[in-house]
A = this chain, B = another copy of it.
Amino acid sequence: MPNYSRQRESIRNFLAGRRDHPTAETIYQNIRQEYPSISLGTVYRNLTLLSELGEIQKISAGSGPERFDPNTAPHYHFICTHCGGVSDLKMGSLDHINILAGQDFDGEIAGHSAYFYGTCAGCRSAGRTMTEDRAADRTDTGQRGPKSIP
């Protein structure tokens, strides 16, 4: 078991209170308020450790930086192609698609990775239908623009 460290504790607590799946950079900028001398490397090191310990989840959706989720229960994510925001989807398991995938396949399907994309409620009500996003305005989107998201 790893030793205690206040930096790691702070990262743990910060993440626990967020539902927006922040990137390492965002976590770094926030933890820096409390520990001005923390380094980005420490943030990465601890995020990797915490996800290896199964306390958090590392999620990668297409291009762009990895994101971190305090919810370790299996669930699916939605990525808005306009603002870049990532949110949780309330939907049941899709494990039946593993069967479909294995039907005409020689190897063994152990699982799948999937995410959904489209326009989030906020962007739709703001009339953002084409890619005239303003991701940079948001607290954290983790990407500068809607790159090749699919």
The A43-98 residues at the B interface (CB cut-off 8 A) are 51, 58, 60-63, 66, 76, 78, 80-81, 89-92, 94, 97-98
Mark A residues whose CB is within 8 Å of B: 51, 58, 60-63, 66, 76, 78, 80-81, 89-92, 94, 97-98, 100-101, 103-124, 148-150
Once the chains bind, are A116 and B89 in contact (CB under 8 Å)?
no
Q: Are B60 and A63 interface neighbours, CB within 8 A?
A: yes
The 7 closest A-B pairs by CB, nearest first: A110-B118, A106-B121, A114-B114, A107-B120, A90-B104, A109-B118, A108-B119
With known contacts A60-B63, A62-B113, A148-B60, A107–B80 Cβ distance under 8 A? yes
Cα-based distance from A98 to B89 in the complex (angstroms): 11
Classify the interface of chain A: helix, strand, loop or mixed: mixed
With most chain B CB atoms within 10 A of its CB, the pick from A51, A89, A107, A121 is A107
23 A-B pairs in the complex with CB atoms less than 8 angstroms apart: A58-B148, A61-B113, A63-B66, A78-B101, A89-B104, A89-B105, A90-B104, A91-B101, A91-B104, A92-B100, A94-B97, A97-B114, A97-B116, A106-B120, A107-B118, A107-B120, A107-B121, A107-B124, A108-B118, A108-B119, A112-B114, A112-B117, A113-B114
